[in-house]
Amino acid sequence: MRSKAKTVIIGGGIIGLSIAYNLAKMGEEDIVVLEKSYLGSGSTFRCGSGIRQQFGDDANIQMMKRSVEIWKNMENELGYNVEFEQGGYLFLLYDEEELKTFERNVKLQNKYGVPSRIITPEEAKEIVPLLNTDGVIAAAFNHTDGKANPFKAVFAYANAAKKLGVDIYEYTEAKDIKVEDGKIKKVITDKGEIETGRVINAANAWAPLINKMAGVPVDIPIHPYKHQGIKTEPFKIGEINPMIVSFKHDGVYMTQEANQGGIIGGYALKYGPTYDITPTYEFLRGVSYRFSQIIPALKYLNVIRIWAGYYAETPDDNAAIGRINEVDEFYIAAGFSGHGFMLAPAVSEAIAELIVDGKTSKPLWFYDPYRFERGELREQAVQMG
């Protein structure tokens, strides 16, 4: 392992890896990524693969608009097919109040050029003929939303970063960070020490522990909650293209994988704060019930996999992204709740701009890590779970 680096990124999930790639792309050298287990092992490999621009606030919509542009071009840029498919996101709406909220959101999304729209239950059924539209009064649909393969996305970013000279160390855990007079001196790992002047905390569910190592004096409340997902056996591809969401059914979401044909999805049941990730029967049964209410034919499918992972939650479900003033050259990008996978391309670009250029045109202010301490919570991010 090297003993010196200009930048040490802690966390080998989609956020840490995409930051490493974007920094290197902007000409930064001497970058190291530390991952205590294998790449993607935190939340990224356990996510539901969904990518959407249908948020309810200006910042997330803008960030996601940029992200989707990058996702669309990712195969070109990183030289690897990450199976990004624009099957759309279809929110099923069951009452006037829900409809009103979504009408407002659609208007805001349209303002930024996201082509979402409110459609009738009949139109929804045309998009997904297997859908049970009983009780559905309308739906919000955006055909440029979609999904990508988290496994492939991680490897695409990791390989592209390596090609640009980034060193990635798996099974290497950051144990401590030495700071003197407000300046970072080194990162101590279980495999040795690395002298460095810059640390990026991309440890998501474990981010508070990294903050503590560096003595970050700001309170950034990020807590790990256990959320789960399932995958079914495959059936004819193309029958359920969009990610279907129903808040009426406790935030259930599901889509058919573009390449393999199984359904993946979950719902809002959560446990915690906890670092336990044992899957539960309560979830298995709860998710089967909700899936089969929305797509009745799913009752014939076998579940072939169930797993759990973390939503690293903040009080407003928005991440903490930015520079920490009290520790020179310490950055954080963590606490992504249920939408860190989709946001990674734009977030990493913004962080790299902030570090290299000293500023970014993207609305990173929205994710200000100091907002909690100031009591300035954002509007709750739209999310399932």
Partner 1 sequence: MRLQEHPIIDFTKRRGRKVTIYFEGKPIEAYEGEPIAEALHAAGIRVLSYTPKLNRPRGLFCAIGKCSSCLMVVNGIPNVRTCITLVEDGMRIERQRGLQPLPKNVKSPRWKDAEKKYGDIIVIGGGPAGLAAAIKAAENGAKVMLIDENPILGGQLVKQTHKFFGKREQFAGVRGIKIAEILAKEAKDKGVEIHLETSAIGIFQEGDQKMVAAVKKNTHLMEFYGKAVIVATGAMEKMIPFKNNDLPGVYGAGAIQTLMNTYGIEPGKRVLIVGAGNVGVILAYQLLQANVEVVAIVEAMPRIGGYFVHAAKIRRLGVPIYTRHTILRAEGKEKVERAVIAQIDEKWKPIPGTEKTFDVDIIALAVGLRPSVELLHQAGCQLVYVRELSGYVTRHDKRMETTVRGIFVAGDSSGIEEATTAMLEGKIAGLSAALLVGKAKPAVLEEIKKYQDDLNEFRSGPFGQHILKGIEKVMIHD
Ligand X SMILES: Cc1cc2nc3c(=O)[nH]c(=O)nc-3n(C[C@H](O)[C@H](O)[C@H](O)COP(=O)(O)OP(=O)(O)OC[C@H]3O[C@@H](n4cnc5c(N)ncnc54)[C@H](O)[C@@H]3O)c2cc1C
Contacts with ligand X, residue ranges (CB under 6 A) = 10-16, 34-37, 41-44, 46-50, 173-174, 202-206, 227-229, 266, 309-311, 334, 336, 338-342
Residue 184 amino acid letter: I
Cα four-point dihedral sign 190, 191, 193, 195: negative
Q: Does residue 71 contact residue 127 with C-beta atoms inside 8 Å?
A: no
Smaller CB separation from ligand X, 330 or 336: 336
Report the partner that residue 289 touches, choosing among partner 1, ligand X, none (CB closer than 5 to 8 A by kind). partner 1
Using rule CB under 8 A, residue 275 touches partner 1: no
Which region among 43-51, 142-150, 274-282, 326-334 touches partner 1 (by CB under 8 A)? 274-282
Smaller CB separation from partner 1, 219 or 276: 276
Binding partner 1 (rule: CB under 8 A), the pick from 110, 133, 274, 280 is 280
Binding partner 1 (rule: CB under 8 A), the pick from 137, 188, 218, 301 is 301
Roughly how many angstroms between the first and final C-alpha of the chain, as a whole number? 40
The 3-state DSSP class for residue 8 equals: strand
**Nearest alpha carbon to residue 118 among 92, 85, 147, 87:** 92
Using rule CB under 8 A, residue 99 touches partner 1: no
**Nearest alpha carbon to residue 213 among 201, 225, 205:** 201
Smaller CB separation from ligand X, 30 or 173: 173
Q: Does residue 121 contact residue 137 with C-beta atoms inside 8 Å?
A: yes
Binding partner 1 (rule: CB under 8 A), the pick from 27, 97, 302, 374 is 302
Give me the DSSP letters along 284-307: HHHHHHHHHHHSGGGGGSPEEEEE
Report the partner that residue 265 touches, choosing among ligand X, partner 1, none (CB closer than 5 to 8 A by kind). none
In terms of Cβ atoms closer than 10 Å to its own Cβ (0-12, 13-18, 19+), residue 79 is exposed
Smaller CB separation from partner 1, 59 or 131: 131
Using rule CB under 8 A, residue 41 touches partner 1: no
Using rule CB under 8 A, residue 133 touches partner 1: no
> Per residue, what are the HEC states of 171-189?
CCCEEEEEEECCEEEEEEE
Residues in contact with partner 1 by CB under 8 A are 129-130, 132, 134, 233-237, 239, 261, 278, 280-281, 284-285, 289, 292-293, 296-303, 306
